[in-house]
Structure 1
Amino acid sequence: MQPVIFGIVLAMYLVALMGNALLVIVALSDSKLQTPMYFLLSQLSFIDIFLTTITVPQMLVHMLSVNRTISFNCCMIQLLFFMAVGSMEGHLLAAMAYDRYVAICDPLRYSAIISRRLCLRITLTSWVVVCLNSLLYSVLVTHLTFCGNQVTHFFCDITPLLKLSCTRPVVNEMLIFTEGVAVVVSPFFFILSSYARIGVAIACMHSIAALHKALSTCSSHILVVLLLYGSVIHMYLRPSSTYDLDQDHQVAIFYTVVTPMLNPLIYSLRNQEVKGALWRLFRKLCISGNFQPSSQANRDWQHIS
Structure 2
Amino acid sequence: MSATKMTQENSSTITELVLVGFSNYPQAETPLFFLFSLIYLVNLFGNTVIFILVVIDSCLQTPMYFFLCHLAFLNIFYTTAVVPKMLFNLLASKKVISYEFCLAQTYISLLMGAAECIILAIMALDRYVAICYPLRYLIIMNWSVCMQLAGGAWAISFFASVVPLYFTTVPICGPYIIDHIFCEVPVLLNMICDDTSLQETLMIIGASGTLLLPFLLIVLSYLCILVSVMSMHTAESRKKAYSTCSSHLTVVTIYYGTGMFMYMRPKSLYSAKGDKLISLFYAVINPALNPLIYSLRNKKVQGAVRRTLERWKAFHRQTTLP
Identify whether the pair has TM-score above 0.5, normalized to the shorter chain.
yes
1:299 is matched with: none
The alignment's C-alpha RMSD in Å is 1.4
Q: 1:199: Cα distance to partner?
A: 0.8
Question: For the residues of structure 2 that align with 1:92 and 1:286, how far apart are their CA atoms?
Answer: 35
Deviation string, structure 1 residues 244-289 (Cα, Å, up to 9, x no partner): 1100101111111111111111111111111000001111222222
* Pick aligned residue for 1:169 from 189, 196, 199: 196
Give the aligned length.
Answer: 291
2:51 is matched with: 24
Asked whether the equivalents of residues 39 and 116 of structure 1 are also in contact (C-alpha less than 8 Å), the reply is no
1:94 is matched with: 121
| Structure 1 position 194 matched with structure 2 position 221 | yes
Deviation string, structure 1 residues 114-167 (Cα, Å, up to 9, x no partner): 012211111111111111223234325631442421111111111110011223
For 2:206, give the aligned amino acid.
E
Q: Could you tell me which runs of 5 or more consecutive residues in structure 2 were left unpaired when the two chains were aligned.
A: 1-27
Question: For the residues of structure 2 that align with 1:214 and 1:275, how far apart are their CA atoms?
Answer: 18
| Percent sequence identity over aligned pairs | 37
User: Compared with structure 1, are the counterparts of its residues 105 and 250 closer, same or farther at alpha carbon in structure 2 (3 Å cutoff)?
Assistant: same
Q: Could you tell me which runs of 5 or more consecutive residues in structure 1 were left unpaired when the two chains were aligned.
A: 292-305
TM-score normalised per structure 1: 0.92
2:149 is matched with: 122
Question: For the residues of structure 2 that align with 1:178 and 1:186, how far apart are their CA atoms?
Answer: 11
| Structure 1 position 281 matched with structure 2 position 308 | yes
Deviation string, structure 1 residues 198-251 (Cα, Å, up to 9, x no partner): 011111112111111100111111001001101101111111101111001011
Superposition map of 1:1-305 within 5 A: 1-140=28-167, 142-290=169-317
Asked whether the equivalents of residues 111 and 161 of structure 2 are also in contact (C-alpha less than 8 Å), the reply is yes
TM-score normalised per structure 2: 0.87
Question: For the residues of structure 2 that align with 1:47 and 1:156, how far apart are their CA atoms?
Answer: 17
Asked whether the equivalents of residues 207 and 263 of structure 2 are also in contact (C-alpha less than 8 Å), the reply is no
Asked whether the equivalents of residues 76 and 142 of structure 1 are also in contact (C-alpha less than 8 Å), the reply is no
Question: For the residues of structure 1 that align with 2:164 and 2:182, how far apart are their CA atoms?
Answer: 16
Asked whether the equivalents of residues 151 and 160 of structure 1 are also in contact (C-alpha less than 8 Å), the reply is yes
- Higher mean C-alpha displacement, 241-250 vs 68-77: 68-77
